[in-house]
Amino acid sequence: MFGDTVHLAIGFALRGPALAPAAAVARAAAATGLSERRAEAAEDVGRALAALERAGLRRAPGPDLQLEYPVAHASGGKLVQGYVDLLGVRDGRVVIVDFKTDAPPAGDVHASHAAYVEQVRGYARILVALGVAREGAVDAGLLFTADGGIRWV
């Protein structure tokens, strides 16, 4: 419930730039039912927005930025599908950012959060396979809201 609230609040704040993190969390919590840890959630949202600002990705959704972007691709007789938390374009490159409310890694994210690394890399492969992005022109990152750091993978 905490993670869902933070994800939803980040989206509310991006769609309404004047909306403070605490107000975005209050709106999101009304939808998710989160009643505790709201101050912590607001801090996470604030750090996430600051990280997106530093990465050149803090803007309202539109043609060059989408939230909860659905992806699906059939490969090897299996359907692979998911939702990219944030899909944007920056400096002519496609950028994938997945929001994580887990504890951030103390060291190498590839070692501590290998499944998440593979998740965003999988999204990148799907976007290339679908022709949404060119091979080698996708940046994929994990934004850990607890410290506001994006780990590019």
pLDDT in tens, 1-24: 999 999 999 999 999 999 999 999
Q: What is the dihedral of CA 48, 49, 53, 56, to 10 degrees?
A: 70
Helix and strand counts by DSSP (H, E) for the chain:
5, 5
Where are the chain's structural domains?
Answer: 2-54, 65-152
| DSSP output for 66-105 | EEEEEEEEEETTEEEEEEEEEEEEETTEEEEEEEE-SPPP
Residue 79 amino acid letter = L
pTM (predicted TM-score) = 0.95
CATH level 3 topology of 65-152: Lambda Exonuclease; Chain A (3.90.320)
pLDDT tens-place string over residues 36-70:
999 999 999 999 999 999 999 999 999 999 999 99
Residue with tokens 């359907």: 79
For 71-85, what is each residue's pLDDT tens digit? 998 988 989 889 999
